[in-house]
Structure 1
Protein backbone atom coordinates (compact mmCIF):
# COMPACT_ATOMS: atom_id res chain seq x y z
CA UNK A 1 0.00 0.00 0.00
CA UNK A 2 1.39 3.40 -0.97
CA UNK A 3 1.79 5.82 1.90
CA UNK A 4 2.64 9.51 2.11
CA UNK A 5 4.09 11.36 5.07
CA UNK A 6 1.78 13.74 6.89
CA UNK A 7 2.37 17.47 7.38
CA UNK A 8 1.10 19.86 10.04
CA UNK A 9 -2.23 21.50 9.31
CA UNK A 10 -2.19 24.93 7.74
CA UNK A 11 -3.65 26.43 10.90
CA UNK A 12 -0.67 25.20 12.92
CA UNK A 13 -2.74 22.63 14.77
CA UNK A 14 -0.95 19.39 15.61
CA UNK A 15 -4.12 17.48 14.69
CA UNK A 16 -4.80 18.94 11.24
CA UNK A 17 -6.34 16.70 8.57
CA UNK A 18 -3.03 15.85 6.89
CA UNK A 19 -1.48 14.61 10.11
CA UNK A 20 -4.60 12.58 10.84
CA UNK A 21 -4.24 10.89 7.45
CA UNK A 22 -0.67 9.95 8.31
CA UNK A 23 -1.71 8.78 11.76
CA UNK A 24 -4.72 6.73 10.77
CA UNK A 25 -3.82 5.55 7.28
CA UNK A 26 -0.24 4.65 8.10
CA UNK A 27 -0.76 3.66 11.71
CA UNK A 28 -4.13 2.01 11.62
CA UNK A 29 -4.40 0.69 8.09
CA UNK A 30 -0.92 -0.78 8.14
CA UNK A 31 -1.13 -2.14 11.65
CA UNK A 32 -4.73 -3.21 11.31
CA UNK A 33 -3.01 -4.69 8.07
CA UNK A 34 -7.62 -3.67 9.85
CA UNK A 35 -6.68 -4.25 7.92
CA UNK A 36 -3.42 -8.32 5.25
CA UNK A 37 -5.20 -8.60 7.70
CA UNK A 38 -5.63 -4.22 9.10
CA UNK A 39 -1.93 -6.09 8.08
CA UNK A 40 -3.90 -6.09 5.81
CA UNK A 41 -0.38 -8.25 -3.56
CA UNK A 42 -3.77 -7.43 -4.28
CA UNK A 43 -5.18 -8.68 -7.63
CA UNK A 44 -8.53 -8.50 -9.35
CA UNK A 45 -11.91 -7.32 -8.18
CA UNK A 46 -14.50 -8.97 -5.99
CA UNK A 47 -18.09 -8.87 -7.24
CA UNK A 48 -21.05 -11.08 -6.48
CA UNK A 49 -21.52 -11.64 -10.20
CA UNK A 50 -17.93 -12.72 -10.90
CA UNK A 51 -16.56 -16.21 -11.47
CA UNK A 52 -16.87 -18.60 -8.52
CA UNK A 53 -19.43 -16.31 -6.91
CA UNK A 54 -22.54 -17.59 -5.18
CA UNK A 55 -25.53 -16.07 -3.46
CA UNK A 56 -23.49 -15.89 -0.26
CA UNK A 57 -20.46 -14.32 -1.94
CA UNK A 58 -17.18 -15.66 -3.24
CA UNK A 59 -16.44 -19.33 -2.68
CA UNK A 60 -12.99 -20.82 -2.31
CA UNK A 61 -11.71 -22.93 -5.18
CA UNK A 62 -11.56 -26.66 -5.09
CA UNK A 63 -9.64 -27.64 -1.97
CA UNK A 64 -9.51 -31.01 -0.35
CA UNK A 65 -10.36 -30.18 3.25
CA UNK A 66 -12.66 -27.81 5.07
CA UNK A 67 -9.72 -25.96 6.62
CA UNK A 68 -8.00 -25.50 3.26
CA UNK A 69 -11.24 -24.10 1.83
CA UNK A 70 -11.45 -21.65 4.72
CA UNK A 71 -7.83 -20.61 4.22
CA UNK A 72 -8.29 -20.18 0.47
CA UNK A 73 -11.36 -18.02 0.98
CA UNK A 74 -9.66 -15.87 3.60
CA UNK A 75 -6.52 -15.39 1.51
CA UNK A 76 -8.29 -14.59 -1.78
CA UNK A 77 -7.19 -11.07 -2.80
CA UNK A 78 -9.57 -8.13 -2.80
CA UNK A 79 -9.58 -4.78 -4.60
CA UNK A 80 -7.06 -2.15 -3.52
CA UNK A 81 -7.45 1.58 -2.98
CA UNK A 82 -5.17 4.55 -2.50
CA UNK A 83 -4.96 5.99 1.06
CA UNK A 84 -6.69 9.18 -0.14
CA UNK A 85 -9.81 7.17 -0.94
CA UNK A 86 -10.38 6.71 2.80
CA UNK A 87 -10.98 10.44 3.28
CA UNK A 88 -14.42 12.06 2.95
CA UNK A 89 -15.28 12.51 -0.72
CA UNK A 90 -18.17 13.12 -3.11
CA UNK A 91 -21.01 10.64 -2.78
CA UNK A 92 -22.23 8.66 -5.75
CA UNK A 93 -25.70 9.43 -7.10
CA UNK A 94 -26.36 5.84 -8.15
CA UNK A 95 -28.34 3.46 -5.98
CA UNK A 96 -26.30 1.23 -3.66
CA UNK A 97 -27.12 -2.34 -2.73
CA UNK A 98 -28.24 -2.95 0.84
CA UNK A 99 -27.33 -5.62 3.38
CA UNK A 100 -29.97 -5.95 6.08
CA UNK A 101 -28.42 -6.90 9.40
CA UNK A 102 -30.13 -8.35 12.47
CA UNK A 103 -30.16 -6.42 15.69
CA UNK A 104 -28.56 -7.80 18.88
CA UNK A 105 -30.70 -9.41 21.51
CA UNK A 106 -28.33 -8.92 24.44
CA UNK A 107 -24.91 -7.87 25.64
CA UNK A 108 -22.10 -10.40 25.97
CA UNK A 109 -18.56 -10.54 27.31
CA UNK A 110 -16.56 -7.30 27.34
CA UNK A 111 -19.84 -5.39 26.81
CA UNK A 112 -20.07 -6.46 23.17
CA UNK A 113 -23.62 -6.66 21.77
CA UNK A 114 -24.52 -10.23 20.86
CA UNK A 115 -27.39 -12.57 20.09
CA UNK A 116 -27.04 -12.51 16.31
CA UNK A 117 -28.34 -15.48 14.28
CA UNK A 118 -26.35 -18.22 12.55
CA UNK A 119 -26.37 -16.49 9.16
CA UNK A 120 -23.74 -14.59 7.14
CA UNK A 121 -25.56 -11.37 8.02
CA UNK A 122 -25.40 -12.36 11.68
CA UNK A 123 -21.64 -12.88 11.36
CA UNK A 124 -21.29 -9.45 9.77
CA UNK A 125 -23.32 -7.80 12.52
CA UNK A 126 -21.26 -9.54 15.21
CA UNK A 127 -17.96 -8.41 13.66
CA UNK A 128 -19.23 -4.86 13.52
CA UNK A 129 -20.18 -5.03 17.20
CA UNK A 130 -16.77 -6.46 18.16
CA UNK A 131 -14.81 -3.80 16.28
CA UNK A 132 -16.95 -0.89 17.44
CA UNK A 133 -16.66 -1.90 21.10
CA UNK A 134 -12.92 -2.52 20.86
CA UNK A 135 -11.96 0.67 19.05
CA UNK A 136 -14.32 2.97 20.95
CA UNK A 137 -12.64 1.87 24.18
CA UNK A 138 -9.77 4.17 23.19
CA UNK A 139 -7.24 2.07 25.11
CA UNK A 140 -5.06 -0.98 24.68
CA UNK A 141 -6.62 -2.68 27.67
CA UNK A 142 -10.10 -2.22 26.24
CA UNK A 143 -9.12 -3.67 22.87
CA UNK A 144 -7.37 -6.63 24.51
CA UNK A 145 -10.39 -7.40 26.69
CA UNK A 146 -12.60 -7.56 23.61
CA UNK A 147 -10.40 -9.86 21.57
CA UNK A 148 -9.77 -12.14 24.56
CA UNK A 149 -13.52 -12.66 24.85
CA UNK A 150 -14.38 -12.89 21.16
CA UNK A 151 -11.67 -14.95 19.45
CA UNK A 152 -11.73 -18.74 19.13
CA UNK A 153 -8.66 -20.79 20.15
CA UNK A 154 -6.09 -20.41 17.40
CA UNK A 155 -7.48 -17.01 16.48
CA UNK A 156 -5.98 -13.57 17.12
CA UNK A 157 -4.88 -12.67 20.64
CA UNK A 158 -4.15 -9.57 22.67
CA UNK A 159 -0.64 -9.69 21.25
CA UNK A 160 -1.40 -10.54 17.61
CA UNK A 161 -4.78 -9.02 16.69
CA UNK A 162 -4.59 -6.30 14.08
CA UNK A 163 -7.00 -4.22 16.18
CA UNK A 164 -4.49 -4.15 19.05
CA UNK A 165 -1.71 -3.16 16.66
CA UNK A 166 -3.90 -0.43 15.20
CA UNK A 167 -4.81 1.03 18.59
CA UNK A 168 -1.15 0.94 19.68
CA UNK A 169 -0.13 2.81 16.52
CA UNK A 170 -2.85 5.40 16.97
CA UNK A 171 -2.01 6.06 20.62
CA UNK A 172 1.73 6.11 19.92
CA UNK A 173 1.37 8.60 17.09
CA UNK A 174 -0.75 10.80 19.36
CA UNK A 175 1.91 10.69 22.06
CA UNK A 176 -0.41 8.87 24.46
CA UNK A 177 0.07 5.89 26.73
CA UNK A 178 -1.83 2.66 26.34
CA UNK A 179 -4.48 4.00 28.70
CA UNK A 180 -5.50 6.64 26.16
CA UNK A 181 -6.69 10.07 27.27
CA UNK A 182 -10.06 11.38 28.48
CA UNK A 183 -9.92 14.04 25.77
CA UNK A 184 -9.48 11.40 23.06
CA UNK A 185 -12.80 10.43 21.48
CA UNK A 186 -13.11 7.65 18.91
CA UNK A 187 -16.56 7.11 17.42
CA UNK A 188 -16.86 4.13 15.09
CA UNK A 189 -19.88 3.66 12.84
CA UNK A 190 -20.34 0.60 10.60
CA UNK A 191 -21.68 2.02 7.34
CA UNK A 192 -21.00 -0.52 4.57
CA UNK A 193 -20.24 -4.23 4.44
CA UNK A 194 -19.88 -7.31 2.31
CA UNK A 195 -19.93 -11.07 2.70
CA UNK A 196 -16.78 -12.32 0.98
CA UNK A 197 -17.96 -15.92 1.16
CA UNK A 198 -18.91 -18.90 3.29
CA UNK A 199 -17.72 -22.47 3.84
CA UNK A 200 -20.63 -24.45 5.19
CA UNK A 201 -23.14 -22.94 7.59
CA UNK A 202 -20.69 -22.16 10.40
CA UNK A 203 -17.85 -20.26 8.71
CA UNK A 204 -17.89 -16.94 6.89
CA UNK A 205 -15.41 -14.27 5.88
CA UNK A 206 -17.10 -10.91 6.25
CA UNK A 207 -15.92 -7.31 5.95
CA UNK A 208 -17.12 -4.03 7.43
CA UNK A 209 -16.28 -0.53 6.22
CA UNK A 210 -16.35 1.85 9.18
CA UNK A 211 -16.53 5.61 9.47
CA UNK A 212 -14.05 6.64 12.18
CA UNK A 213 -14.52 10.04 13.84
CA UNK A 214 -11.46 10.93 15.93
CA UNK A 215 -11.42 13.98 18.19
CA UNK A 216 -8.57 15.39 20.25
CA UNK A 217 -8.26 19.14 19.74
CA UNK A 218 -10.11 18.87 16.44
CA UNK A 219 -12.42 16.36 14.80
CA UNK A 220 -11.45 14.46 11.66
CA UNK A 221 -12.95 11.51 9.84
CA UNK A 222 -11.63 8.57 7.87
CA UNK A 223 -12.86 5.21 6.59
CA UNK A 224 -11.27 2.01 7.88
CA UNK A 225 -12.23 -1.48 6.69
CA UNK A 226 -11.86 -4.79 8.50
CA UNK A 227 -12.24 -8.37 7.28
CA UNK A 228 -12.26 -11.35 9.63
CA UNK A 229 -12.90 -15.08 9.65
CA UNK A 230 -16.06 -15.66 11.65
CA UNK A 231 -16.86 -19.05 13.17
CA UNK A 232 -20.13 -20.16 14.79
CA UNK A 233 -19.09 -21.64 18.14
CA UNK A 234 -21.07 -22.20 21.31
CA UNK A 235 -24.17 -20.52 19.97
CA UNK A 236 -22.46 -17.30 18.88
CA UNK A 237 -20.20 -15.87 16.19
CA UNK A 238 -16.56 -15.34 17.16
CA UNK A 239 -13.42 -14.41 15.23
CA UNK A 240 -12.17 -17.77 14.04
CA UNK A 241 -8.77 -19.47 14.02
CA UNK A 242 -6.17 -18.85 11.37
CA UNK A 243 -4.46 -15.88 9.77
CA UNK A 244 -6.50 -12.72 9.34
CA UNK A 245 -7.96 -12.41 5.83
CA UNK A 246 -6.66 -10.36 2.93
CA UNK A 247 -7.64 -6.73 3.45
CA UNK A 248 -10.64 -5.03 1.96
CA UNK A 249 -10.17 -1.50 0.59
CA UNK A 250 -10.80 1.33 3.04
CA UNK A 251 -12.83 3.81 1.00
CA UNK A 252 -15.19 6.56 2.08
CA UNK A 253 -18.70 5.05 2.32
CA UNK A 254 -21.10 5.89 -0.45
CA UNK A 255 -18.51 7.02 -2.98
CA UNK A 256 -18.14 5.55 -6.45
CA UNK A 257 -14.94 3.86 -5.29
CA UNK A 258 -16.83 2.14 -2.46
CA UNK A 259 -19.55 0.89 -4.78
CA UNK A 260 -17.02 -0.32 -7.36
CA UNK A 261 -15.21 -2.27 -4.63
CA UNK A 262 -18.39 -4.21 -3.86
CA UNK A 263 -19.38 -2.48 -0.62
CA UNK A 264 -23.08 -2.36 0.21
CA UNK A 265 -24.95 -0.13 2.61
CA UNK A 266 -25.74 -1.64 6.01
CA UNK A 267 -29.29 -1.40 7.31
CA UNK A 268 -30.39 -2.86 10.62
CA UNK A 269 -33.69 -4.69 10.59
Structure 2
Protein backbone atom coordinates (compact mmCIF):
# COMPACT_ATOMS: atom_id res chain seq x y z
CA UNK A 1 0.00 0.00 0.00
CA UNK A 2 1.11 3.58 -0.60
CA UNK A 3 0.96 5.81 2.47
CA UNK A 4 1.80 9.42 3.21
CA UNK A 5 4.57 8.78 5.74
CA UNK A 6 6.59 11.79 6.67
CA UNK A 7 4.02 14.19 5.18
CA UNK A 8 2.09 16.84 7.07
CA UNK A 9 -1.42 15.62 7.82
CA UNK A 10 -4.06 17.92 6.43
CA UNK A 11 -7.41 18.25 8.24
CA UNK A 12 -9.38 17.64 5.05
CA UNK A 13 -7.62 14.32 4.46
CA UNK A 14 -8.27 13.13 8.01
CA UNK A 15 -11.93 14.18 7.74
CA UNK A 16 -12.31 12.14 4.57
CA UNK A 17 -10.80 9.09 6.23
CA UNK A 18 -13.21 9.27 9.17
CA UNK A 19 -16.06 9.55 6.69
CA UNK A 20 -14.73 6.48 4.87
CA UNK A 21 -14.98 4.50 8.10
CA UNK A 22 -18.57 5.67 8.54
CA UNK A 23 -19.30 4.56 4.99
CA UNK A 24 -17.88 1.13 5.75
CA UNK A 25 -20.42 0.72 8.55
CA UNK A 26 -23.27 1.99 6.36
CA UNK A 27 -22.31 -0.21 3.42
CA UNK A 28 -22.45 -3.28 5.61
CA UNK A 29 -25.97 -2.36 6.69
CA UNK A 30 -27.38 -1.63 3.24
CA UNK A 31 -25.61 -4.36 1.30
CA UNK A 32 -24.31 -2.17 -1.51
CA UNK A 33 -21.91 -4.12 -3.67
CA UNK A 34 -19.45 -2.42 -5.93
CA UNK A 35 -17.75 0.23 -3.79
CA UNK A 36 -17.58 -1.75 -0.58
CA UNK A 37 -14.20 -2.99 -1.76
CA UNK A 38 -13.00 0.57 -2.28
CA UNK A 39 -14.05 1.57 1.21
CA UNK A 40 -12.40 -1.45 2.75
CA UNK A 41 -9.24 -0.65 0.86
CA UNK A 42 -9.13 2.96 2.03
CA UNK A 43 -9.85 2.05 5.65
CA UNK A 44 -7.24 -0.70 5.46
CA UNK A 45 -4.67 1.74 4.13
CA UNK A 46 -5.29 4.07 7.06
CA UNK A 47 -5.36 1.42 9.80
CA UNK A 48 -3.97 -1.92 8.53
CA UNK A 49 -5.09 -5.07 10.28
CA UNK A 50 -3.67 -8.57 10.10
CA UNK A 51 -4.99 -10.54 7.16
CA UNK A 52 -6.14 -14.07 7.91
CA UNK A 53 -7.54 -15.94 4.95
CA UNK A 54 -10.36 -18.20 6.08
CA UNK A 55 -10.90 -21.23 3.89
CA UNK A 56 -14.41 -21.71 2.56
CA UNK A 57 -15.45 -24.99 0.99
CA UNK A 58 -18.95 -24.15 -0.21
CA UNK A 59 -19.32 -24.72 -3.95
CA UNK A 60 -20.77 -21.85 -5.95
CA UNK A 61 -20.57 -23.22 -9.46
CA UNK A 62 -24.05 -24.57 -10.16
CA UNK A 63 -25.98 -24.68 -13.41
CA UNK A 64 -29.67 -24.83 -14.02
CA UNK A 65 -30.57 -26.87 -17.03
CA UNK A 66 -31.87 -25.42 -20.26
CA UNK A 67 -35.50 -24.90 -21.05
CA UNK A 68 -38.19 -22.97 -19.24
CA UNK A 69 -39.15 -25.39 -16.48
CA UNK A 70 -40.05 -24.17 -13.02
CA UNK A 71 -39.16 -25.37 -9.54
CA UNK A 72 -41.50 -25.66 -6.58
CA UNK A 73 -41.12 -23.74 -3.32
CA UNK A 74 -43.81 -24.26 -0.67
CA UNK A 75 -46.21 -25.42 -3.36
CA UNK A 76 -45.67 -22.32 -5.52
CA UNK A 77 -44.00 -22.38 -8.91
CA UNK A 78 -40.72 -20.45 -8.89
CA UNK A 79 -39.05 -19.12 -11.99
CA UNK A 80 -35.71 -20.99 -12.23
CA UNK A 81 -33.99 -17.71 -13.07
CA UNK A 82 -35.19 -16.25 -9.77
CA UNK A 83 -34.19 -19.40 -7.90
CA UNK A 84 -30.70 -19.19 -9.36
CA UNK A 85 -30.36 -15.49 -8.61
CA UNK A 86 -31.58 -15.89 -5.03
CA UNK A 87 -29.31 -18.83 -4.22
CA UNK A 88 -26.95 -17.61 -1.47
CA UNK A 89 -23.27 -17.20 -2.23
CA UNK A 90 -20.48 -18.14 0.20
CA UNK A 91 -19.70 -15.53 2.84
CA UNK A 92 -16.21 -14.43 3.80
CA UNK A 93 -14.66 -12.24 6.46
CA UNK A 94 -14.52 -8.52 5.68
CA UNK A 95 -10.73 -8.58 5.59
CA UNK A 96 -10.84 -11.08 2.71
CA UNK A 97 -11.12 -8.07 0.37
CA UNK A 98 -7.83 -6.63 1.59
CA UNK A 99 -4.60 -7.45 -0.25
CA UNK A 100 -3.42 -10.85 0.96
CA UNK A 101 -0.92 -13.63 0.23
CA UNK A 102 -1.13 -15.17 -3.22
CA UNK A 103 -2.04 -18.85 -3.16
CA UNK A 104 0.51 -21.47 -4.15
CA UNK A 105 -2.25 -23.91 -5.13
CA UNK A 106 -3.11 -24.65 -8.74
CA UNK A 107 -6.02 -22.31 -9.64
CA UNK A 108 -7.20 -24.61 -12.41
CA UNK A 109 -8.00 -23.75 -15.99
CA UNK A 110 -8.66 -20.00 -16.40
CA UNK A 111 -11.83 -18.57 -17.90
CA UNK A 112 -11.04 -16.98 -21.26
CA UNK A 113 -13.01 -13.79 -21.75
CA UNK A 114 -13.68 -12.99 -25.42
CA UNK A 115 -12.44 -9.68 -26.74
CA UNK A 116 -14.94 -6.95 -27.60
CA UNK A 117 -15.55 -6.18 -31.25
CA UNK A 118 -17.16 -2.75 -30.89
CA UNK A 119 -18.08 0.06 -28.51
CA UNK A 120 -21.72 0.18 -27.45
CA UNK A 121 -23.96 2.66 -25.65
CA UNK A 122 -22.37 4.70 -22.85
CA UNK A 123 -18.97 3.81 -24.33
CA UNK A 124 -19.15 0.26 -22.94
CA UNK A 125 -17.15 -2.32 -24.94
CA UNK A 126 -19.46 -4.92 -26.49
CA UNK A 127 -19.81 -7.38 -29.33
CA UNK A 128 -19.35 -10.43 -27.10
CA UNK A 129 -20.67 -13.83 -28.26
CA UNK A 130 -23.77 -15.66 -27.05
CA UNK A 131 -21.84 -17.81 -24.57
CA UNK A 132 -21.46 -17.81 -20.76
CA UNK A 133 -18.00 -16.34 -21.21
CA UNK A 134 -19.48 -13.64 -23.44
CA UNK A 135 -22.03 -12.78 -20.73
CA UNK A 136 -19.26 -12.54 -18.14
CA UNK A 137 -17.14 -10.35 -20.38
CA UNK A 138 -20.09 -8.00 -20.94
CA UNK A 139 -20.79 -7.71 -17.20
CA UNK A 140 -17.13 -6.97 -16.55
CA UNK A 141 -17.20 -4.23 -19.20
CA UNK A 142 -20.40 -2.71 -17.77
CA UNK A 143 -19.09 -2.60 -14.20
CA UNK A 144 -15.65 -1.42 -15.25
CA UNK A 145 -17.00 1.45 -17.35
CA UNK A 146 -19.46 2.59 -14.67
CA UNK A 147 -16.93 2.49 -11.85
CA UNK A 148 -14.08 4.07 -13.78
CA UNK A 149 -16.29 6.96 -14.82
CA UNK A 150 -15.81 8.14 -11.21
CA UNK A 151 -19.09 10.09 -11.46
CA UNK A 152 -22.73 9.44 -10.64
CA UNK A 153 -23.72 10.66 -14.10
CA UNK A 154 -21.39 8.12 -15.69
CA UNK A 155 -22.78 5.24 -13.62
CA UNK A 156 -26.37 6.28 -14.37
CA UNK A 157 -25.66 6.53 -18.09
CA UNK A 158 -24.23 3.02 -18.11
CA UNK A 159 -27.11 1.35 -16.30
CA UNK A 160 -29.75 3.21 -18.36
CA UNK A 161 -28.17 1.84 -21.51
CA UNK A 162 -27.50 -1.69 -20.26
CA UNK A 163 -30.51 -2.71 -18.13
CA UNK A 164 -33.64 -4.16 -19.71
CA UNK A 165 -37.10 -2.95 -18.59
CA UNK A 166 -37.73 -4.28 -15.10
CA UNK A 167 -34.03 -4.40 -14.36
CA UNK A 168 -32.10 -2.14 -11.98
CA UNK A 169 -31.83 1.52 -12.97
CA UNK A 170 -31.55 4.22 -10.31
CA UNK A 171 -31.83 1.38 -7.78
CA UNK A 172 -28.74 -0.31 -9.21
CA UNK A 173 -26.24 -1.19 -6.50
CA UNK A 174 -23.50 0.52 -8.51
CA UNK A 175 -25.31 3.88 -8.45
CA UNK A 176 -26.23 3.59 -4.78
CA UNK A 177 -22.70 2.59 -3.81
CA UNK A 178 -21.10 5.46 -5.70
CA UNK A 179 -23.55 7.91 -4.11
CA UNK A 180 -22.60 6.59 -0.66
CA UNK A 181 -18.95 6.89 -1.57
CA UNK A 182 -19.22 10.51 -2.72
CA UNK A 183 -21.29 11.49 0.32
CA UNK A 184 -18.81 9.92 2.71
CA UNK A 185 -15.80 11.45 0.99
CA UNK A 186 -17.37 14.90 0.88
CA UNK A 187 -17.34 14.96 -2.91
CA UNK A 188 -20.03 15.97 -5.36
CA UNK A 189 -21.57 13.41 -7.68
CA UNK A 190 -19.56 14.97 -10.48
CA UNK A 191 -16.42 13.45 -9.06
CA UNK A 192 -13.14 15.21 -8.44
CA UNK A 193 -10.00 15.84 -10.45
CA UNK A 194 -8.00 14.11 -7.70
CA UNK A 195 -10.18 10.99 -7.75
CA UNK A 196 -9.19 8.08 -9.96
CA UNK A 197 -10.73 4.61 -9.86
CA UNK A 198 -9.34 1.63 -11.76
CA UNK A 199 -11.27 -1.67 -11.72
CA UNK A 200 -9.53 -4.73 -13.15
CA UNK A 201 -11.50 -7.99 -13.53
CA UNK A 202 -9.15 -10.74 -12.38
CA UNK A 203 -11.34 -13.66 -11.25
CA UNK A 204 -14.87 -14.89 -11.76
CA UNK A 205 -17.32 -17.75 -11.82
CA UNK A 206 -20.48 -18.73 -13.63
CA UNK A 207 -23.09 -19.22 -10.92
CA UNK A 208 -25.38 -20.90 -13.43
CA UNK A 209 -27.53 -20.54 -16.53
CA UNK A 210 -31.07 -21.19 -17.70
CA UNK A 211 -31.10 -22.07 -21.36
CA UNK A 212 -28.78 -20.28 -23.75
CA UNK A 213 -30.10 -16.77 -23.17
CA UNK A 214 -29.86 -16.39 -19.37
CA UNK A 215 -26.51 -16.52 -17.60
CA UNK A 216 -25.61 -15.42 -14.10
CA UNK A 217 -21.89 -14.58 -14.02
CA UNK A 218 -19.96 -13.14 -11.08
CA UNK A 219 -16.83 -11.05 -11.53
CA UNK A 220 -14.24 -10.30 -8.85
CA UNK A 221 -12.30 -7.07 -9.41
CA UNK A 222 -9.14 -5.61 -8.03
CA UNK A 223 -10.07 -2.00 -7.37
CA UNK A 224 -7.47 0.76 -7.07
CA UNK A 225 -8.74 4.10 -5.79
CA UNK A 226 -6.65 7.25 -5.57
CA UNK A 227 -7.85 10.20 -3.54
CA UNK A 228 -4.83 11.93 -1.98
CA UNK A 229 -3.39 8.45 -1.55
CA UNK A 230 -3.77 5.13 -3.33
CA UNK A 231 -5.42 2.08 -1.78
CA UNK A 232 -6.45 -1.31 -3.12
CA UNK A 233 -9.20 -3.75 -2.38
CA UNK A 234 -11.49 -6.31 -3.98
CA UNK A 235 -15.09 -5.86 -5.10
CA UNK A 236 -17.35 -8.47 -6.72
CA UNK A 237 -20.60 -8.27 -8.65
CA UNK A 238 -23.17 -10.78 -9.98
CA UNK A 239 -25.96 -9.87 -12.38
CA UNK A 240 -28.69 -11.50 -14.43
CA UNK A 241 -27.38 -11.35 -18.00
CA UNK A 242 -29.92 -11.81 -20.80
CA UNK A 243 -29.17 -12.25 -24.50
CA UNK A 244 -31.34 -9.87 -26.52
CA UNK A 245 -30.46 -11.15 -29.97
CA UNK A 246 -27.75 -8.56 -30.45
CA UNK A 247 -25.96 -8.19 -27.10
CA UNK A 248 -25.95 -9.22 -23.48
CA UNK A 249 -27.79 -6.89 -21.10
CA UNK A 250 -28.66 -6.88 -17.39
CA UNK A 251 -32.03 -8.55 -17.16
CA UNK A 252 -35.23 -7.81 -15.21
CA UNK A 253 -35.72 -8.87 -11.64
CA UNK A 254 -34.09 -8.17 -8.32
CA UNK A 255 -30.30 -8.17 -8.19
CA UNK A 256 -28.78 -11.56 -7.33
CA UNK A 257 -27.47 -12.58 -3.94
CA UNK A 258 -24.18 -10.74 -3.32
CA UNK A 259 -20.95 -12.37 -4.42
CA UNK A 260 -18.03 -12.56 -1.99
CA UNK A 261 -15.49 -9.76 -2.49
CA UNK A 262 -12.15 -11.55 -2.18
CA UNK A 263 -8.62 -10.41 -2.96
CA UNK A 264 -7.87 -12.19 -6.27
CA UNK A 265 -5.44 -15.10 -6.29
CA UNK A 266 -5.70 -15.96 -2.60
CA UNK A 267 -6.60 -19.32 -1.06
CA UNK A 268 -9.96 -17.85 -0.07
CA UNK A 269 -10.69 -16.78 -3.65
CA UNK A 270 -10.02 -20.31 -4.88
CA UNK A 271 -12.05 -21.85 -2.04
CA UNK A 272 -15.21 -19.89 -2.89
CA UNK A 273 -14.98 -21.05 -6.50
CA UNK A 274 -13.35 -18.16 -8.34
CA UNK A 275 -11.13 -18.88 -11.32
CA UNK A 276 -8.58 -16.67 -12.99
CA UNK A 277 -9.78 -14.57 -15.92
CA UNK A 278 -7.72 -14.24 -19.07
CA UNK A 279 -8.50 -11.76 -21.84
CA UNK A 280 -8.59 -13.13 -25.36
CA UNK A 281 -6.15 -11.28 -27.58
CA UNK A 282 -7.65 -8.60 -29.79
CA UNK A 283 -7.73 -9.58 -33.43
Same fold by TM (over 0.5)? yes
The structure with the larger Rg is 2
1:126-175: CA deviation from partner (whole Å, max 9, x where unpaired): 00000000000011100000000000010001x20000001001111110
Report if the CA contact (8 A) 2:85-2:257 is conserved.
Answer: yes
Deviation at 1:188, TM superposition (A): 0.6
- Work out the number of aligned pairs and report it: 247
The aligned counterpart of 1:33 is 32
- Kindly provide the CA deviation profile for residues 188-222 of structure 1, in whole angstroms up to 9, marking residues without a partner as x: 10010000000000001110001110001100001
Which residue of structure 1 aligns with residue 177 of structure 2? 166
Structure 1 contact 44–78 (Cα < 8 Å) conserved: no
Q: Which of 114, 117, 125 is the aligned partner of 1:102?
A: 114
Task: Provide the C-alpha distance between the structure 2 equivalents of 1:244 and 1:103, rounded to a whole number of angstroms.
Answer: 26
Q: Which of 181, 195, 209 is the aligned partner of 2:206?
A: 195
| Equivalent position to 2:165, from 140, 153, 177 | 153
The alpha carbon displacement at 1:46 in A equals 2.4
Q: Does 1:180 align with 2:191?
A: yes
Aligned residue number for residue 144 of structure 2? 132
* Equivalent in the alignment of 2:88: 77
CA contact (8 A) 2:102 2:267 kept: yes
Displacement after TM superposition at 1:32 (Å): 6.0
Q: Distance in 1 between matches of 2:153 and 2:119?
A: 19
Q: In the superposition, relative to structure 1, how do residues 216 and 144 fare at CA in structure 2: closer, same or farther (>3 Å)?
A: same
Report the 3-state secondary structure (helix = DSSP H, G, I; strand = E; otherwise coil) of the residue aligned with 2:240: strand
Mapping of residues 1-269 of structure 1, within 5 Å: 12=9, 14=13, 22=21, 25-26=24-25, 33-34=32-33, 45-48=58-61, 53=62, 57=63, 63=71, 68-97=79-108, 98-157=110-169, 159-269=170-280
Q: Where does the alignment leave 5 or more consecutive residues of structure 1 unmatched?
A: 1-8
Cα distance in 2, alignment partners of residues 30 and 120 from structure 1: 32
Cα distance between partner residues in 1 of 2:65 and 2:268: 23
Contact 2:128 2:135 in 1 (8 A): yes
The two structures have a TM-score, normalised by structure 2, of 0.79
Q: Secondary structure at the match of 1:220?
A: strand
Per the alignment, do residues 21 and 142 of structure 1 end up closer, same or farther by CA in structure 2, a change over 3 Å counting? same
Q: Give the alignment's Cα RMSD to 1 decimal.
A: 3.0
Does the residue aligned with 2:79 lie in a helix, a strand or coil? helix
Q: 1:20 to 1:124 in 2, by over 3 A?
A: farther
